Amino acid sequence: MATNASGLFTTPTVPNLRGKIKPSIRIFGSGFRSPDGISKRVFCSSTFEGAEKHVGASPSESRAPRLVSKGCKLIGCGSAVPSLKISNDDLAKVVDTNDEWISVRTGIHNRRILSGKESLTTLAVEAALKALEMAEVDVDDVDLILMCTSSPDDLFGSAPQVQKALGCKRNPLAYDITAACSGFVMGLVSAACHIRGGGFKNVLVIGADALSRFVDWTDRGTCILFGDAAGAVLVQACDSEDDSLLAFDLHSDGDGNRHLNAAFKESETDELGSNGSVLGFPPRRASFSCLQMNGKEVFRFAVRVVPQSIEAALAKAGLPASSIDWLLLHQANQRILDGVSSRMQIPSEQVISNLANYGNTSAASIPLALDEAVRSGKVKPGHTIAAAGFGAGLTWGSTIFRWG
């Protein structure tokens, strides 16, 4: 027996089983589904069915992997925002705009911006600790940390620094997921896959961004939109019958990158000099440009694809739209929230919105809004939530889950 790159056991010598065993499950959308339509969440185990009966048998006779059903549930959440609050009136002092112009077009009145000794890592740690406290899970019981961010404190990612700051003694795996405003949804689905396919028990999913670092504060078309924040949830393994992440639908389209990006850009001056040796070497110093966005195109994109994605996820879950208790979208623009809810015929009172106070916080927006809704008593255990993220890449995706 050997292990593959993912750490799961493989069975290289099973040719005599071909054609003798009919597959009882087939891949379906968000997970596995049997021919009778019953959803099966499975992962490969290191123990094997029948091994105790065939101790001396050959691998081809006794090493068929046992498939074990597993579910996952969201049991804790937390959030953190910088101390510095910037109002529309504050922005009007540095760029040609005013409160009415911003609020009418976006629904935003205030946003929080990192300042002083604050960092994205400290925000992420604060949000994570709150999520662990609500979930009543000790930091040393965390098996995996997924840091969903496009603006880490380090080019190579911030997740290991979050793991260190949390004080995890067992050195659990921690890595970054870069998917901009879709990041948290991608992280949530990734957590479910790690639990169902890898045997992980407690996974911290953190959405955190500080896009204020990449905003052109002289461009009133973009600087009015963004704020900094962090939000986190604790996703825990559970029995399959208690599974709460019901379905998901994920997509990307690189052709739309031209509408929303912060591209790599070389310096216009050759500071190092080529020294006459090799043309174009050493390379010029470079950095990422300020965020560039075609607002009208992004709006059209979001209002078109988000309802389609949520409807696809609902179909995979076998649920009607009427089963949704709350619509939780990436907090980009109130007009987008209104447009999506209108197309899906979901009443405005069932739409979670807090962007008036925080603006667009990218990967942090969904867990930040969820945390406030849970702690205020709006979202209760057992409520069904349709969450969707969308943004740079272009990427978009949705997931249907029950809280608690």
Residue from 193, 330, 333, 354 carrying the catalytic annotation: 330
Identify whether 72 is a catalytic site residue. no
Q: Residue 2: how many CB atoms within 10 A of its CB?
A: 7
Taking CA atoms, 160 is separated from 77, 80, 103, 121, 233, in Å, by 20, 19, 38, 10, 17
Rounded distance between C-alpha atoms, residue 256 and residue 297, angstroms? 9
384-391 and 264-266 as β-strands: parallel, antiparallel, unpaired? unpaired
The Cα–Cα gap between 309 and 303 comes to 11
* Cross-strand partners of 65: 48
Residue 109 annotated among the catalytic residues of the structure: no
Task: Say if residues 48 and 65 touch (Cβ distance below 8 Å).
Answer: yes
Burial class for 128, CB neighbours closer than 10 Å (0-12, 13-18, 19+): buried
Q: Which amino acid is at 347?
A: P
Beta strands in 49-134 (DSSP E): 65-69, 71-80, 84-87, 110-113
Q: At a CB cut-off of 8 Å and minimum separation 6, what does 37 contact?
A: none
Distance, CA of 331 to CA of 356 (rounded, Å): 9
State the catalytic residue, choosing from 181, 193, 223, 261.
Answer: 181
Q: Is 330 one of the catalytic residues?
A: yes
Q: Which residues participate in catalysis according to the annotation?
A: 181, 330, 360
